[in-house]
Structure 1
Amino acid sequence: MEISEQKNNASIDIALDNGKELKTTKSQFLSQFTAEDDRQIMRKVDRRVLLLMGIMYLLKQIDFSNAASVKVLQVGLPSNILNELHMSTNDYNWTQTIYYIGLVIFEVPSNLVLKRVSPHKWMTRIFLSWGIVVACHAAIQNKAGFYALRFLLGALEAGFFPGLAAQMCSWYRSDEYGRPIMWMFAFQNCAGIIGSLLVYGISYMNGVGGLSAWRWIFLLEGLVTILFCPAIYFILPDYPKSPSSSKWLTPEEQEYLELRLSDNAPRAADPNFSLKEILNSLKDPKMYLFTASQFLLNIAGYGLSWQLPTITTSLGFASLPRNQLLNIPPAAATVIGIIIAARVMRWAIMTRPLFCQLLNGIALIFFIVLCVPVNPGATYAACVLGTAFYYVYFIPFWAWRSSSLVGATGTAFAIALQTALAQIGGIIAPQVFQSKYAANNYRVSFIICTACAAAAMVSNQILWYLSRDVEGDVLQVRRHRIAAERDGRVWTGEDVKLSSAR
């Protein structure tokens, strides 16, 4: 799909409520809307999309992170999961690795089905199937059963994040993309707060009905996920010009939402499958650099997240089960940081690559702190802030990525392939924290994480050079749109162009 001036000024036929048709150009049509009109329309979109999407991500993250939390539940007691399933800590690390193997294998196929089936139906299927698998964790009797269910969980969850990320490209411009990503990641990290409180509360159910506390956690969280599925099916919208969107948007609003997007954005009228868009994505060197950056940081960030409950428990600040509450500050700091990052992006203070490098550099400092002998307070502070800056980094990162995605198939494929390959970092991360490194507080593990974070900065620097023109356009257009909004107008000037269309 090429961006051209002809497409920007093409004649548009719009069916109005009174049955008449308006023939106009894109810029003429957009100029009929005021800044207040834009705010009202986007508020309707936000109300329909953001809260639902945030709750979806909250439930997903609670279901994902419970495996790390239950590892230290009733630790040292017969009812601890390691004792009941006769697993060592190294055996348990494989549960996370196997989960990511399932995710990596099925991420791309799942996302390519998204448009053909429709997002709301496919997301409902994903939620329902993984909720059932989470609930089935309560019946595990040995490590083989645990491994099998973790693989199924990854395989059935595949397509969730890349599917939502691709879908949001149809509703939000690249310079606004930080907003939906902020909601996803903020709710994801609220899961750290809510999940820790849930684990703490459910820990007192140990022995109820003859079930250990960790079994109750999996069972109850899986049932909640299953019960939430009807909300996804009936509320989650597909695309601005999908038939279901006409129930809550007028024809003019539907047209406006599509026309305000840059021309590379996916649309309802795009074909369900385009081999050309897939091949173009594979030819783009930025695909591999974005993937490398995400992969490297995932080793560092996922490793820290996976080991966080174990590290905080070992510091001796709280006894069982209050040790679970030590996982709340990292999540709270992350949520605050994510909100601040989204605000900074909205103000168009700096380019997104520069913002990414600053966040990556600060996260790197805290990983370095974890590599050297420091007191427990400094270790805990580094865990809190290292976790926060790792997650905050992905707010500008995914917004930066969205500006080089093209078409419905190209967007779905590129995000899915990048996510799948980058999730190999999740396969590796738990293995970096093997028990043999525990004697020196996992210093070797954190040296590996630090090296990965540093290498990610190198990949980002090359990416910044390759995307400098597009990112310069994004910053300037965002500033034009801010100025027009102050004057009560909608910006209708020249939009962002991909480098290939210059």
Structure 2
Amino acid sequence: MAPNASASSLDATTKDPPTVDVAVTAPDSADNERHKAEYRTEFLSSFTIEEEQKIMRKVDLHIVVLVGLIYSIKQIDTNNAALVKVMAIGKPTNILNQLGMTSDQYAWVQTAYYIPYVLLETPTILLFKKMSPRLFQSRIIITWGIILALHAAVSTKEALYALRVLIGIAEAGMFPAIMTFYTCWYRGDELARPMIWVHSIDQFSNIIGQLLAYGMSYLDGKQGLSSWQWVFLLEGVATVIFGIIVYFYHPDYPRSPRTSKWLSPREQEFVELRLTTNAPRLSDKPFSLQETLITLKDPRLWSFTFMMLCMSTTSYGIAWFLPNIVTNLGFVTVPRNLLLLLPGSFLSMILIISIHFIYKRALVPRPLFCLTIVGCELLSFIIFLATQQKAAVYAACILGSMFSHAWGTSYWPWRSSSLKGTTGTAVAFGITNSIGQLGGVIGPQIFRSQWATSGYKESYGICVGALGGGFLLGLLCWYLTFDLETQVRRVKKARNKAAREGRVYVDDEVRAA
């Protein structure tokens, strides 16, 4: 096909027009915005709704499970760093006893991990476009797997701190890369679907991780290793193996040469052209100073960022201390205390999946749903402050865990809609996640042993204050994105209507200001 051929000449039933070159698909007048819009409309109109669904199922199959596992394995490491401190509790082989650490000193294990993670998140993500998604993520996973396995060899708390710093350096940029990668493949109004996959797989993996930790607790003393050493060693080796798999199977961009192995040139173009105009693309420059400055001046960047900081402070605080809270309730003995953590993960998975059906139908505005989850989490922490009755405290643990895991599923799709370009998107996700991850630095320090006598009411009070701040900042975010969110919901409903009528939506699109 000649470069200026009309898109209408494409046969909607032809999978691969014989002369289409993926690099030459736009007409000669591509610089003219009107002509580009006309080309896009004609091209997308040549597809049926069945074709669109088939193509996006391919995309889902190649992306969501693999990316969900990347995030899940990272979270298993984070969660199990908290779990190991209650393994073999009261025995010489407990990690605190073996390394001569107090509970407050062990909290620095997580803080030491997040400090370099926060500092390097933004500069590291700027390498994303230059390295490609596949190389970027496989490098991170293999490196952190090696460092994680080395945890089994430490014999002093100083060595453990050093390795946590190194693993924070290795993992920096992973989550912003996931989000930037997703926006290259999915529209903002449908981003909830892959995010729900990520968080659902995460919760399922969390259940598996807790069961594995329970199983590995019985390896205590085997081959001269304590149970906590077995956890780090086996997870580290598994992570390295998974990183090698990621290198070979992780996709790049819709128009990348490797993508042509599972999408035809026509399908590759369809995936990119169906995105909103502000989405990142392969043709974008690796770095744009203009996009960076525009992003930094946007008040939405800072309102979303500090909302996340408030929310993550509470999330990381409760995640870090949850094994201790449940163990101290005394319902069961070690190691069955680990099994009491399972209901929170199971209910989180159910809630996250239910979010998909609400978002798919655009039943409520995304900000309203996100703030409802924040409000419910706030109420669960008020229970901690109101009573020390064991059953109520355990219920608050389950509810707090459930809502703290679910809010990100609604937050990140909402955040992504106002981003522009590869650099702007990467910088915004990098800054939001890096400053937001300060919660990982602060959270483990909230539950101080000196507050144990009061039932950690001071700790829960800090969490309630942080959640209240997150709720107020969420209201500000909604105010700043009100018009944009109205557009997103309108277009989502229009797309749903078009799908019911058996056609691909090609009319007016969401345009981020």
Shorter-normalised TM-score: what interval?
A: over 0.9
Whether contact under 8 Å (1:11, 1:26) holds in the other structure is no
How has the CA–CA distance of structure 1 residues 257 and 401 changed in structure 2, closer, same or farther, with 3 Å as cutoff? same
1:127 and 2:141 correspond: yes
- Contact 2:317-2:440 within 8 A present in 1 as well: yes
Q: Is 1:19 equivalent to 2:19 in the alignment?
A: yes
Residue number in structure 1 paired with 2:45: 31
Counterpart of 1:495? 509
Q: Which amino acid aligns with 2:89?
A: V
Deviates more, 1:16-25 or 1:364-373: 16-25
Question: What CA distance in whole angstroms lies between the structure 2 residues aligned with 1:64 and 1:303?
Answer: 12
Distance 1:344 1:11 in 2: 39
Q: What is the match of residue 86 of structure 2?
A: 72
2:278 is the alignment partner of 1:267: no
Report if the CA contact (8 A) 2:20-2:266 is conserved: no
C-alpha separation in 1, matches of 2:378 and 2:58 = 39
Q: Structure 2 CA distance, aligned partners of 1:439 and 1:203?
A: 29
Distance 1:356 1:46 in 2: 24
Return the alpha-carbon distance in structure 2 between the equivalents of residues 448 and 70 of structure 1: 25
Query: Unpaired runs of 5+ in structure 2?
Result: 11-15, 28-37
Cα deviation per residue 1:412-471 (whole Å; 9 max; x = unaligned)?
A: 111011100011111111111110111222111011100110111111111111111100
2:128 alignment partner in structure 1 = 114
Equivalent pair of 2:185/2:253 in contact (CA under 8 Å): yes
Letter in 2 for 1:410: G
- Conserved in 1, the CA contact under 8 Å of 2:385 and 2:460? yes
How far off is 1:374 after superposition? 3.7
- Please tell me the residue identity of whatever aligns with 1:353: P
User: Is 1:230 the counterpart of 2:230 in the alignment?
Assistant: no
The structure 2 residue matched to 1:141, chosen from 127, 151, 155, is 155
| SS of match in other structure, 1:370 | helix
Q: Segments of 4+ in structure 1 off by > 2 A?
A: 10-17, 20-24
The aligned amino acid for 1:284 is: D
**Equivalent residue, structure 2, for 1:196:** 210
Secondary structure at 1:421 match in 2: helix
User: 1:81-111, CA deviations, whole angstroms, 9 ceiling, x for partnerless residues?
Assistant: 0011000011000111111101101111211
- For residue 295 of structure 1, give the secondary structure of its aligned residue in structure 2: helix
Q: Which of 481, 503, 507 is the matching residue for 1:467? A: 481
How far apart are the structure 1 equivalents of 2:273 and 2:206? 38
Is it true that 1:254 corresponds to 2:268 in the alignment?
yes
For 1:98, which of 99, 109, 112 is the aligned residue? 112
**Taking structure 2 as the reference length, what is the TM-score of the superposition?**
0.93
Residue 360 of structure 1 aligns to a residue whose secondary structure is helix
- What's 1:7 paired with? none
Q: 2:65 maps to what in 1? A: 51
C-alpha contact (below 8 Å) 2:8/2:46 kept by paired residues: no
Aligned counterparts of 1:434 and 1:389: Cα–Cα separation in 2:
23
TM-aligned CA deviation for residue 192 of structure 1: 2.3
Give the Cα separation in 2 of the matches to 1:403 and 1:469: 11
Residues 141-220 of structure 1: pairs in structure 2 closer than 5 A: 141-220=155-234
Q: For 1:265, what is the secondary structure of its paired residue?
A: coil
Partner of 2:322: 308
| Runs (5+) with no aligned partner, structure 1 | 1-9
Residue 7 of structure 2 contacts residue 42 of structure 2 at CA under 8 Å; is this kept in 1? no
The Cα offsets for residues 157-205 of structure 1, whole Å up to 9 and x where unpaired, read as: 0111110111000111011101111111112222321111111111111
Aligned-pair CA distance for 1:138: 0.1
Aligned-partner residue type, residue 64 of structure 1: T
Displacement of 1:12 after TM fit?
7.2
Q: Distance in 1 between matches of 2:95 and 2:481?
A: 48
Query: Is the 1:293–1:456 contact (alpha carbons within 8 Å) kept by the matching residues of 2?
Result: yes
1:447 aligns with 2:461: yes
Which residue, 399, 414, 422 being the options, matches 2:436? 422
1:20 Cα offset (Å) = 5.0
Of the structure 1 ranges 37-46 and 369-378, higher mean CA displacement relative to structure 2 is found in 369-378
Note the alpha carbon deviations across 1:88-138, whole angstroms, 9 max, x for none: 011000111111101101111211101101110110000000000110000
Tell me the residue number matched to 2:369: 355
Deviation track 1:185-242 (CA, whole Å, cap 9, x = no partner) reads 1122223211111111111111111111110110000000001122211111111001
What is the RMSD computed on CA atoms of the aligned residues? 1.6
Superposed displacement of residue 353, structure 1: 0.8
Letter in 2 for 1:19: T
Question: Contact 2:48–2:504 (CA<8 Å) still a contact in 1?
Answer: yes
Cα deviation, residue 481, structure 1: 0.3
Output the amino acid matched with 2:148.
V
Contact 2:65 2:198 in 1 (8 A): no
Secondary structure of 2:164's counterpart equals helix
TM, length-normalised to structure 1 = 0.95
Q: Number of aligned residue pairs: give it.
A: 490
Shift in Å at residue 143 of structure 1? 0.6
